[in-house]
Structure 1
């Protein structure tokens, strides 16, 4: 019998690939084993010959931050990359190009009436339809325009899409077949805005020499349905129908807004003059009583449709031109997008911005839209992306310290239009910080209020998922109240991006329980225990007036600190080394226990605080 001989000397060989300028974080072999892809802190992906030290082509560039993960598709024709810039990108292995829906900036987005699909128009001359619940295009691009597609509108029946273009045409498309219907509607100027009437019989658009007039079109007959509505002295940039179809609102480069009678074609309200630059977008509220406008003066304004007077102060927050606005279906919130690359959400009742701006886009945001159910916001940007954000959470009958929103119902389940929040303001802490006893009494009372609200939510089977002090409102009397009209719960919702995706929001990781950061679980479930961990961090924030781990500026440092089990330092100035301070600190440590079963319930936190403090 012959036996294989043992080698007398071990031989090792390796191939070294060099090219990245910073650390390499991830590598992956292609399915056929002939190539290797690598991702790096230098924000690039590189492809290498697996059998030689040769790089294949140029680096794949597009990410704006460190790349953490690389993976080949099963067929080997696509590479997926995940980055700290909150995006996942797909790359064609053969062309080394990023696989995106549109090849140029997205100018307009609109949801279908049933909310199941989204349509977008682009500088690349195409219209694309998307599945609203996955980053998947529906069919092939709709082609026919010879230049930019500025405006998109779905018929209320959901069967037709209207598109307005720089080629001076409006085209109608069959949603089911993707084919253009008949000949385009033609004008003498770029169609910057198109809108269907509520009965789907008419389309309103800018029109005429210089685009200074508004025109109505008969959808069925494919021809003009009115004489031009004259009044604006410069280009009309935005038009929209009132909910009852009897009025049209328009915004213009002449810095004014007008409301028109559909039957007579005359101005019945306006011109409304308060903006200091061109009016870029206008919209009626769902009940038709108000108009929302935005402008290149960086502001949004709300108007009364009867008196023409502004309501409240301008909405200020954007740091550049505001391009687009939209009402939520219940009319309580509005969203806006602009030149500062952000999408913002506003509470109509207060005129204040909710939470931090959404900054996933890397270029100007041209268009925003609410889904018909109010659970999603879509945005289109010059970065060629369409992003959908999920924003729903349900609530039963609220307690006395819960401020509800009147919302539509979906079947038997009431679905709030936006996400609930629990929050504590720091407004009173500095004023009374000189009186330590009063300070501790107020902050402890606010902790009880917040914990009570969380206890109620848990009793109803609802997990908050993003508790932090930014999400708590405090009355002038110092009472902390749970509210359902903020937006931080977005960090726990899924964001869909049609060339990338993200399901996190910067900053919330400071409050996130360590079990939520486990890498061996694809989607850790938020639980009552993880809420209690965040409650502990929120109470610490109430006492100190600072966010947890305030010494760290980036999420990665915080994440590694939490994973190591390092807790925030005890704030000795606020929680002194005495009986009361030790009592509160020990309660916080219980909330932060790595053993989920050792964490108290929200109800236990309430009873513990009340028993030791008498509720103050």
Structure 2
């Protein structure tokens, strides 16, 4: 951009001096001359524009606020306040400021994770890499790590809300028959000690997720039904009656589980009974990701060849459908519910047009 040699005009032009009236008594202070602009100092302050969370009342106004050229296969809130942890399977792991997306730190060095879990207190990071049967757990305060041997193919992992437990999924693929084998989840303490192994299901990629109170563990399965377990005992509580789940997410109060399915369906389940509350087609050919707003009053989903949808969970009604690229692998609200971020690509190969899109209300930009 060319810069003009003409000087930039001042914010306020030099005002003419204003002569105040002469006091009636000559012994009082002499006549003063003050700039008229000085009177501006006595004006009322300009009110700040309120930043409004996305809700069922205003979701119809959600639009694109910004786009950033950036890759990510996984986005999670935390570990710190106002932070996002981003996993890119080619570039590694970074923690970002959720408001500016400015990189803050790299918790994993000299490794190329394909899955990642970070403890809520930020002191532990767990990951696995391609062609390995182990999970590496790093203590960020001491920079020391240890490995957990699984023997089978590692799946996803999750830390409990109190950071004391680590759930890791793994799958044994039986070479004697295509698709045969089993998937299971094991619970470890923060030192890597095995506490219990949960009941197996059919072979598929497992994603464990703890409830907000840490008492229930939900496990999704790419090929079979999602399951709910009691964390303290390992008891299988419920098998949810719909197969082939991708991502699952507890409501902030833990009473409802949202499940994103391979057929493009979004379903909501009562976590106490395991019964389906309601379900609806998202308009995607496959749902990849689902997230609750931290306030719990709206949901958002993304997937393959279909819209990003903002939902009202009580009726499971679509509040807003947003045009999306062919491949939207992740969607995440920021901590104050004012925006959500999607990670996408232009085509199903996920190689071209990778970007973050920031969505929100017009006044929140």
TM-score (norm 2): 0.70
Alignment partners' CA distance in 1, 2:153 and 2:200: 18
Residue of structure 1 in register with 2:26 after alignment:
none
- What does residue 300 of structure 2 align with? 335
Aligned partner of 1:243 among 212, 216, 221: 212
User: How many residues of Structure 1 are paired with residues of Structure 2 in the alignment?
Assistant: 289
Residues 252-305 of structure 1: per-residue CA shift (max 9 Å, x gap): 1333011112233231112x2234xx2111122222221110111101100112
Q: 1:111 aligned to 49, 62, 77, which one? A: 77
Cα distance change of structure 1 residues 205 and 140 upon mapping to structure 2, 3 Å threshold: closer
| Residue equivalent to 2:13 | none
In structure 2, relative to structure 1, the CA distance for the partners of 1:294 and 1:380 (3 Å cut) is same
2:364 is the alignment partner of 1:493:
yes
Specify the SS of the correspondent of 2:84: strand
Name the CA distance, whole Å, in 2 between partners of 1:290 and 1:493: 29
Match of 1:216 in 2: 187
What residue in structure 2 maps to residue 367 of structure 1?
330
Q: Is the 8 A contact 1:188 1:208 kept in 2?
A: no
8 Å contact 1:323–1:339 — kept in the other structure?
Answer: yes
Kindly indicate whether residue 100 of structure 2 is the aligned counterpart of residue 134 of structure 1: yes
Any conservation in 1 of the 2:170–2:185 contact (CA below 8 Å)?
Answer: yes
Partner of 1:337, secondary structure, is strand
Matched, 1:201 2:170: no
Alignment of 1:506-517 (within 5 A): none
Question: Secondary structure of 2:202's match?
Answer: coil
Going from structure 1 to structure 2, the CA distance change for 1:358 and 1:186 (only over 3 Å counts) comes to farther
Q: Retained in 1: the 8 A contact 2:299–2:312?
A: yes
Matching of residue 320 in structure 1 with residue 285 in structure 2: yes
1:273 aligned partner = 241
Aligned to 2:117: 153
Q: Which residue of 2 aligns with 1:287?
A: 253
Distance change >3 Å, CA 334–CA 115, structure 1 → 2: farther
2:170 paired with 1:299: no
Question: What displacement does 1:213 show?
Answer: 0.2
Distance in 2 of aligned mates of 1:342 and 1:127: 27
Structure 1: where are the runs of 5+ without partners?
A: 1-27, 31-84, 90-99, 392-489, 495-616
Is 1:191 the counterpart of 2:185 in the alignment? no
Q: Which has the higher contact order (CA 8 A, sep 6+)?
A: 2
Superposed CA RMSD: 2.9
Q: Unpaired runs of 5+ in structure 2? A: 4-63, 174-181, 345-349
C-alpha contact (below 8 Å) 1:191/1:206 kept by paired residues: yes
Q: Which structure has greater helix proportion?
A: 1
Q: Distance in 2 between matches of 1:141 and 1:132?
A: 16
TM-score, length of structure 1 as denominator length: 0.43
